[in-house]
Structure 1
């Protein structure tokens, strides 16, 4: 994924072609056209070739657009040129599509009719939105784009960011005026890594533009690649807000069942059984407890809360949901310690194997994985911790998690297993055979309840789950 966008490639006026500006869009003034070319004849530049940008580049290329894939990471671009899928989500054939050219040269941005920005938008150590990459991307794109270009932001942001942060960066670097010389839109990404059934073409795309003309232009562009269709938001701010609300809603619902799991653990009541029983009511929403990691759900609520606080309203429920979900790694560690104690294990002499280290099943991405917090919490008890993940890069795990990593799965001598990320490879574990390899009277903490409790108990495990 793109990590920075600072390349301005010897900025100079000769990087732009002279052209009369379009009629301004404010005040009801109309203009003949927006982008330099109509869709299908257009050139599209994707800025940032991570898990959002790369599928976009491939999707547009497969729809016969000419696509420029721009990223400042030399290694990423070199691997893509070699036909290597850097996200693990696409085919080598798609990466090698003749309609895509991968580059680290910002000068090529000037060839694009549409520029789509898909850079990271993390939060800092104080949970405040970090829009550095958006600003840098705006300056880089602005320094190279020609008049008539339409710039679309897809990065997750709080309402108002496109107009307040991106547009000024574009205008300052380009010396052009938004709505007169170039145009802006916003379309929130809905990428779902590890889910082949919900790719670019399969999920309704929300689109917006700075006015009706731009909105229709942007909608037409995305309709040509999204089979599920597009939803035209009435304003850029509505489109920006819908993205953070989608994930804030999930965060709150998961926080509710996570808190229930903590309540029922103290009451010695099976949370999963409670949720299955409650789920027989027609209007009960099915959410399950678990670790909340990744790049969206644990991040987007902070964007909403930050923007709300600027207007003098602190959204307490949003903060509470975040607080509950951030406490789950400590709760998992506590369950593990309790299980070891029940097994009569001496903590400092115990070995714990953590299965699954990435932030969600079926992917190898360990960034923003809350399993790291579980490992940190267990380390405070001086237990010996090892990890195994069939998808994650072992060297990256060693560096990020600071723990021993098994390259080949082995249970020999292990006192407790923590099934943290339920990759499909773990779902069919032969618990009887696994128990035979483990130390006497082992523990199994099945965080998401992936394995059969009765089978685990029959195999001799002390079993815990959220």
Structure 2
């Protein structure tokens, strides 16, 4: 195999798939496929509501020959498929592979003998070959490593990060046989300036992806436990962390809500497969439990602050600033701020939510939260800075409060003198 004559179909045009399609289009004929026709129409009009790719880059890529389509038949001439669909968990926090299976079923409609299928979605070790590969064989009658070939190259996209982008992050690559692995390494080497790392097997690459974010989850859970512990001692945990961080080998994580498409999801895939193999990962599961319970902890701190200041939550007016899972990014996936909003609403508070980055329609559709276009000054009993968007850091957020109103900073982003409580 060699990269000459490669035509690529990228399945899924979200935070991962779109930057990938744009990068590949610089060197190879590329089709960006997505089942969301509205999303395809926006991309064809050079609009990206994820804000990951600029208008200029979209225009350039389409001039180069990148095409977007919601019709799977438009990938019929492709011979290398890259699957970048989400891999969420269900209501029981078990892996939900239905988007991955649906994408696999779609590409099987156009898959030809000799084609390569690469998965970038987070999965548990063994899923690429045992779930996706088996499904391809069942639907096409093709035999793995004879009629078609598999690869796994886990995505490392960090939404909103304009420094650590697709091309300057080392890319892990693996294949179902040595020839496929080397072919895919050559393919990705064309677009990844930081270079590639060839994993010895697909399962190693799958496991590496799972532990990258699980490690962060465990570290943040440690900080969250320190937060709870030091709060009981009346010690500011952020001061403790800053002081400890003066040692060269201290890893500086900060406490807070854990959301997004990776850190709050990937550990469940690892837990699932570990249990299937007969081992219950206690530390990982405990870290997940601590981080899952953080919205309840935050809400209880807010309620205690109000009570200590003789403010009743019932009929109170609350403004929550920020809804996305991280700052300066429109990504609402798995945001835990929504949990706090809904809990305050259940306690009969009047909650307004403002977000300078989030899409208002997405907030309603996915979170059942209506965004407030412009909060009124001097109107709220409580303001919660939930996400440290640059607009809020540069704003005088106390202006939204009544004279005796309270300001809670969940991010430690505001000067301490301005806030009444911070995590």
Give TM-score, length-normalised by structure 1: 0.87
Q: Secondary structure at the match of 1:362?
A: coil
Matched, 1:53 2:17: yes
Distance 2:116 2:247 in 1: 48
- 1:93-108 superposed matches below 5 A: 93-96=56-59, 97=61, 98=63, 99-108=65-74
Q: Deviations over 1:438-464 (max 9, x none)?
A: 21222111001000112x1xxxx5x11
1:91 corresponds in structure 2 to 54
What is the distance in 2 between the residues matched to 1:447 and 1:40? 52
Q: How far apart in 1 are the matches of 2:146 and 2:409?
A: 58
Q: Distance in 2 between matches of 1:397 and 1:146?
A: 40
Contact 2:159 2:331 survives alignment (8 Å)? no
| Secondary structure, aligned partner of 1:441 | strand
Q: 1:403 Cα deviation (Å)? A: 4.7
Q: For residue 14 of structure 1, what is the aligned residue in structure 2?
A: none
User: How far apart, CA to CA, are the structure 1 residues paired with 2:407 and 2:159?
Assistant: 28
Pairing 1:448-459 to 2, within 5 Å after superposition: 448-454=411-417, 456=418
Contact residue 68 and residue 101 of structure 1 kept, 8 A: yes
Task: Report the CA distance shift for 1:185/1:377 in structure 2 as closer, same or farther (over 3 A).
Answer: same
Gaps of 5+ in 2: none
1:214–1:398: structure 2 CA closer, same or farther, 3 Å change rule?
closer
Tell me what 2:185 maps to: 219
Structure 2 distance, partners of 1:289, 1:264, is 12
Structure 1 gaps of 5+ residues are: 1-33
**Counterpart residue number, 1:443:** 406
Residue aligning to 2:141: 175
Q: What residue number does 1:75 align with? A: 38
Range 304-313 or range 78-87, more displaced: 78-87
Preserved contact between residue 7 and residue 28 of structure 2 (Cα < 8 Å) = yes
Aligned to 1:42: 6
1:453 and 1:129 mapped to 2: Cα distance?
41
Change (3 A) 1:167 1:319: same
Cα displacement string for residues 61-112 of structure 1 (whole angstroms, at most 9, x for unaligned residues): 12x2110111111111111111111421111132232221111222232311
Offset of residue 312 of structure 1: 0.9
Indicate how the Cα distance of structure 1 residues 255 and 57 shifts in structure 2: closer, same or farther if over 3 A, else same: same
Q: Residue 288 in 1 paired to residue 254 in 2? A: yes
1:100-146 Cα offsets, whole Å, 9 max, x none, are 11112222323112110111111000010011122222222122111
* Residue 148 in structure 1 maps to residue 114 in structure 2: yes
Which residue number in structure 2 is paired with residue 186 of structure 1? 152
Distance 1:40 1:83, change over 3 A: farther
Match of 1:230 among 168, 189, 196: 196
Is 1:394 the counterpart of 2:360 in the alignment?
yes
| CA distance in structure 1 between the partners assigned to 2:377 and 2:283 by the alignment | 42
Give the total of aligned pairs: 420
Aligned equivalent of 2:77: 111
- Identify if the C-alpha distance between structure 1 residues 400 and 412 changes in structure 2 by more than 3 Å, giving closer, same or farther: farther
Equivalent positions of 1:261-276 (< 5 A) are 261-276=227-242
CA contact (8 A) 2:383 2:401 kept: no
TM-score, scaled relative to structure 2: 0.96
Conserved? CA contact 1:44–1:66, under 8 Å = yes
Pairs within 5 Å for 1:374-393: 374-393=340-359
Secondary structure of 1:191's match?
coil
Greater C-alpha radius of gyration: 1
1:225, CA displacement in angstroms?
Answer: 0.1
The 5 A counterparts of 1:387-426 are 387-403=353-369, 405-426=371-392
- Mapped to 2, the partners of 1:85 and 1:399 lie a distance apart of 19
> SS of 2:200's equivalent?
coil
SS in 2 for 1:111: coil
Q: Does 1:312 align with 2:275?
A: no
Q: Does 1:323 align with 2:289?
A: yes
Q: 2:315 aligns with which of 349, 353, 363?
A: 349
Please identify, of 375-384 and 140-149, the stretch whose mean Cα deviation from structure 2 is larger.
Answer: 375-384
Measured in 2, the distance between the counterparts of 1:223 and 1:44 equals 15
User: Could you give the per-residue CA deviations for residues 332-383 of structure 1, whole angstroms, max 9, x where no partner exists?
Assistant: 1112112222322122132110000011111112221100011122223322
Q: Deviations over 1:298-347 (max 9, x none)?
A: 00000000000001111011110010001111111112112222322122
Measure how far apart 1:40 and its partner are. 5.3
Aligned-CA RMSD value: 1.5
Partner of 1:332: 298
Q: How far, CA to CA, are the matches of 1:215 and 1:402 in structure 2?
A: 44
After superposing the two structures, state which structure 1 stretch, 347-356 or 123-132, moved more.
347-356
